[in-house]
Amino acid sequence: MAADINITVQTRSGRQCASSGSKWEPILGYSRAVRSGTTIAVTGTVGVNADGTYSRSMHDQTQRSLQIIKAAIEALGGKLENVIRTRMFVTNIAQWQEVAKAHGELFGEIRPATSIVEVARLIDDDALIEIEADAVVG
C-alpha cells in the first residue's frame, strides 16, 4: 500500500465501511468501500494524489486509482486476488492502452471481469479515469 493512502474503517449499519478521506465522501454520503459478509464493493475511485492534485498521465492516474482501491480492499480484510470485477470510466477512450497497461500490471494474473467506458466528464475536471471494483472474500 502507498504510504500516503490512509484508510479508516468504521462499522455502520452492521457493515464495515472504509473511508479514504475523500472530500466527496461526506458530501455525497458514501464510503470508499463497504464490506457486507464476504462481499466488498469499492465505489468509483479517481486517481487523485494525497495533495489533491492529479497527474496529467492516464497511466499514472490509473495506477493511483488502483492503489487506493487495493488499500481499501486490504483495510476490509480482502486481497487483490479476491477482485472479481472492475469497471473503468475514462474521459478519452483513445487512451485505453495506457489504462490497459496499468490494469494489466496489477491484474494480469488475477483476470477479473472488466469493462472500460468513455464518459463525458468525471467529478473533477482534472480526473481522467474513475474505477470501481467488486471482491468476494473467503
pLDDT tens, position by position, 96-129: 999 999 999 999 999 999 999 999 999 999 999 9
Residues 6+ apart with CB under 8 A from 78: 35, 40, 135, 137
Place 45 in a pLDDT band, splitting at 50, 70 and 90: very high
Whole-structure pTM value: 0.95
Chain centre to alpha carbon of residue 43: 7
What domains lie within the chain, and their CATH numbers?
A: 8-136 (3.30.1330.40)
- Asked if 56 and 22 touch (Cβ cutoff 8 Å), the reply is no
| Contact present, 2 and 67 (Cβ < 8 Å) | yes
Question: Is the CB of residue 129 less than 8 Å from the CB of residue 61?
Answer: yes
Average pLDDT of span 57-82:
98
Return the H-helix or E-strand segment holding 134.
strand 129-136
